[in-house]
Structure 1
Amino acid sequence: MSPESLAALVALALEPLGLGGAELRRRLRQAGVKVPSELIQGLASAGLVRAEGELYSLTPEGHQALRDAEAALAGAHDPSPTTLGMEECPSVPWLTQVQTHWVEAVSINYAVEPERLARLLPAPLEPEVFHGSAWVQVLMSSLRDMRPQGVSPLLGVCFYQASYRAAVRYRNAKGDWRRGGYFVRSETNDPVMRRVGNALKEFKFHEFGEAHMVMAREGDLLTTAVDPEPAFPGGKLVGVFDTRPSLRPPPGSVWKDLEHLHEPLVECYDALGVADGYVYVLTIDREPWNARFVQPVQLYSEYFAEGPLVPGARLDSVLHLTECAYRWRPLRREPHAR
C-alpha cells in the first residue's frame, strides 16, 4: 500500500460518517500528502472505500487494511518480533509478566576469547564476535518495586542482582539468525526472589545463586560488592566507580564511541535459554538506557580473574546506567536448527 493510500484511509477512519472528496483532498494536502487524481477511485476499486452520495467512508476491508498496516509498522519497530513457529509458553502469565525499575546499574564489559565462551553455551547458541572478541557484561543493578504488571508498587520487591550476560546468537528452524543474551552466571541478594525465579520455567535454563550484595554511593563514587554464598563460589566482585559521565571510551577500548558500542552491547532485549529442542526467549520491553562511560577506580572480578574464561578475558569499558523502567513479555519459544 502506498503512503498516499494509507494517509487517505487514516483520514477517512477519523470521520466515520464520511468525508466529501474535496474535503478529503484538502486535508491530505494540508498534511503534506500529494494526492493523485485517481487515488480515491483506486481505493474504491480495491474495495477499501465506498461512496454514499458525495461522501466517502471506509469499508470493513478498509478498516482491516489499516489494522494490517498498523501491525506491520509495529513489527518493523519491534526489537524482538515473533516469527513463524514461535509460540507463547508462560508458566504463570499473571505472575511472570512483571515490571520494575532499575534505580541504577553498571555494565562492566569484558572481551573474551570466543572459543572459551563457546564451551559455556548450550547448542545451538554461539558467541557473537565483535572486533575479534566475544563479549560478556557483568550487569550489577539495584532493582525497585518488582511486581506483576498491574499490582501496586507498594507490594513490589527491592533487591540487588548481578548477571553475567554473554552476547550470543542462534539459527532457528527456518534458518534465520536471532541474537540475544545468555546468562552464564547470576546472583541475587533476595532469597525469595531466588527461589521464585528458579522455580519458574522462565529461568529453568538460568539458575540464580545467592550472595551478599551492596551498592552504595558517596558523591560521584559508586561502590558495588558481591560476596556469594559458599554454595556458589567464583563470583566475588568489588568495584568502585567514578560515575562522572563521559561520551568517550577509556584508553584501550576497541569501541570508537557509544554509538559503535550501542547495538552490540546495549540493544539486547532477549534473554535466551535452551531446553527440550527449543530456544526460549524472554523479552524485556524497556526504556532506553541512558548509558555513559565511567571510570573504574578499583575493580576485581573473581570470575574473570580466575574463572572459566581465563586466560584471555580483558576489561574493555564500564557503563553507568541511570533509572530505567522495564517489563517482561510472556515467555516464548521456537524450534532451533539441528
Structure 2
Amino acid sequence: MLASLKNHPFAVEAFFESSLVLTFAFPKKELENLIPDCLELDTFEDTWAFVAVAMVQTKHLRPKGLPKFMGNDFFLIGYRIFVRYTTNAGKRLRGLYILKSETDKRKMAFFGNMFTHYHYRKIDIHREENNGLVEISSAKSGLKIKADMSKRNVVVPEHSPFSDWKEARRFAGPLPFTFTYQPQRKEVLIIEGVRQNWKPRPIAMLDYQVSFWDTLNLKSPILANAFIIENIPYYWKKGKKERWGS
C-alpha cells in the first residue's frame, strides 16, 4: 500500500516562475551504468550523452484541481539523464531519468518522497539576482552557478559538442516523459508532463561548480548548453505502469 503511493497516484499541477537549466555532455560510456536496462541513452552523434541540472522556482504546487491557495511554493534542483524508452506497443518515448532531487523545503522533501521515486532531500539553496546576473548556490550540495541573463545573441559554450543553438535546442526540452523502473516488480513507471509556452532562451554562463559529478565518479563533464524558461503553466499526469522484461 505504502509502496504504491510512490507511483504518482494523482495528477499534480504547478506554475514555473523560472527554470534555469545547464546541460552537461559526457562520453556515453560514462553514463550507461547509471540507467536501468529498460532505458537507453538519448545521444548526440552516437557519442555524447547528457545530464541536465535544472534549478526551478515553482509556485502553487498541488494536486491537480485544487485551488491555488492550497498549493506550496518551493525551489527545486534536479539532476536528470536524457533517455529513451520503447513501450510494449512499440512506441519510442523521449524523456528523463531522475538521479537526484533537492529542495529548500522539508515539506516538499517529505511529500516528494512519499509520492515519487525522485530521491528528494532538503538542502540550503540561495538565489540572488541583480542587474541580470543570477547566482544560485548550495553549500550542502556543493553547487554554485553564476549566469548573465542580460546578454543577447549568446553562442553555445566553449567545447560544447553542439555547433550552434539550433543543434543544442534539441536538448533544451521540453521532454514530456519521466521514467522510473522498479526491478523487484519489473515495472516501468511513466509520468507524462504537459506544459505551455515553453520557449527556452540561451544564457551566458560565467561560472559553475557541480560537486554531484564527484559522487558519481564522472570525470569529464562538458557544459553543452545553458538556458532559461519563464512563466510556464505545468502539470503532470497520473503515473502509468507497464511490465518490462520476462
For residues 187-210 of structure 1, the C-alpha deviation after alignment (integer angstroms, 9 at most, x for no partner) is 11111111111112xx23x21122
Question: Residue 166 of structure 2: which of 242, 253, 259 is its match?
Answer: 259
The 5-angstrom pairing of residues 203-222 of structure 1 reads: 203-204=116-117, 206-222=118-134
Deviation at 1:94, TM superposition (A): 11
Superposition TM-score, scaled by structure 2 size: 0.88
> Cα RMSD over matched residues?
2.3
The residue aligned with 2:236 is: 328
The CA distance in 1 between the partners of 2:103 and 2:78, in whole Å, is 9
In structure 1, give the amino acid aligned to 2:234: Y
Q: Aligned-pair distance for 1:137?
A: 0.4
State the Cα distance separating 1:251 from its structure 2 match. 3.3
Is structure 2 residue 27 aligned with structure 1 residue 113? yes
Distance in 2 between the 1:237 and 1:289 partners? 25
1:217 Cα deviation (Å)?
0.9
Determine which structure has the larger helix proportion and give its number.
1
Which residue number in structure 2 is paired with residue 128 of structure 1? 42
Segments of 4+ moved more than 4 angstroms: 90-95
Deviates most, 159-168 or 244-253: 244-253
Deviation track 1:46-94 (CA, whole Å, cap 9, x = no partner) reads: xxxxxxxxxxxxxxxxxxxxxxxxxxxxxxxxxxxxxxxxxxxx84999
Alpha-carbon deviations, 1:140-172, whole Å to 9, x = none?
111111112222222211111000110012333
1:93–1:337 CA distance, 2 compared to 1 (3 A): closer
Q: Which of the two has greater strand per residue?
A: 2
TM-superposed deviation, 1:98? 1.6
Asked if residue 269 in structure 1 is aligned to residue 176 in structure 2, the reply is yes
Does 1:195 pair with 2:110? yes
Give the corresponding residue for 2:204: 295
The one-character-per-residue Cα deviations of 1:288-312 (angstroms, maximum 9, x if unpaired) are 32211111122111123x2325212
Classify the secondary structure of the residue corresponding to 1:106: strand
Relative to structure 1, the CA distance from residue 292 to residue 212 in structure 2 (aligned partners, 3 Å threshold; closer, same or farther) is same
State the partner residue of 1:239.
Answer: 145
Larger RCO of the pair (alpha carbons < 8 Å, separation 6+): 2
5+ residue gaps, structure 1, are 1-89, 229-234
Equivalent in the alignment of 1:285:
194
Percentage of matched positions with identical amino acids: 19
Q: Could you tell me which amino acid in structure 2 is paired with residue 326 of structure 1?
A: Y
Check conservation: 2:159, 2:223, Cα contact below 8 A.
Answer: no
User: How many residues are matched?
Assistant: 239
| Structure 2 stretches lacking a partner, 5+ long | none
Deviation at 1:227, TM superposition (A): 3.2
